[in-house]
Amino acid sequence: MIAIIDYGAGNIKSLQFALEKVGLSAQITIDETVIATSDAIILPGVGAFQDAMQALNNQGLTEIIKREADNGKPVLGICLGMQLFYEISEEDGESEGLGLLKGRVSKITGKVKVPHMGWNTLSKHQSSPLVNQIPDHSFVYFVHSYAVKEYAKKTLIATCDYAGTIPAIVQRGNIIGMQFHPEKSGDIGLKLLENVKEMML
């Protein structure tokens, strides 16, 4: 069973439906026992970094997520959920994240529309089971105004180009992040979730 952390982010039901389509049972929860006994954790994401971290802290979820991640449990972060993995975000002033990955989240800048909203292509940087049978330059769906700008290059699985290089898929061991929404990315998104399933279970 997959524990989807309910910290007030949107689109959780569509994510739960997509997981069920690839054969993963998922429960939306903030219950520590459910999280502790789950096979994997997902941090979904729509919203603002500070608000999300405040919700996690207020619900006592921050330490639970860190503990389970440190114990080797697979944790997938989607969109804002991926950004929460990092040490610092500059959204609405500097805020501390979960610190599961080294790096900083900054506003997208340049001669592009913000938010970055719509379909963009993935460029693979290294082989990983996460991108098995995912053709290079596959389209996935993004909605975000901030992106990871400082990161450890060895964690970089795939990027997209939007006023520069944006990390799109990252991984450090059991910590997996996707800046886009696989649940909104059609067959490619479902295949990515299948790949995550193979790694998680």
Please report, to the nearest 10 degrees, the dihedral formed by the alpha carbons of residues 119, 123, 125, 128 taken in order.
Answer: 60
What does the chain come to in residues? 201
Q: Of 91, 116, 125, 183, which is the active-site residue?
A: 183
Alpha helices in the chain (DSSP H): 12-21, 32-37, 49-58, 61-70, 80-83, 186-200
Q: Is 181 a catalytic residue?
A: yes
Q: What angle do CA 42, 7, 49 make, to 5 degrees?
A: 90
Residue 79 annotated as catalytic: yes
Query: 116, 125, 144, 181: which one is catalytic?
Result: 181
Give the active site residue among 68, 79, 91, 144: 79
User: DSSP state, 85?
Assistant: T
Q: What is the DSSP string of 159-181?
A: EEESSSEEEEEEEETTEEEESS-
Q: Find how far residue 149's CA is from the centre of its chain.
A: 15
The residue type of 89 is: S
Q: How many CB atoms lie within 10 A of CB 102?
A: 14
Residues recognised as catalytic: 79, 181, 183
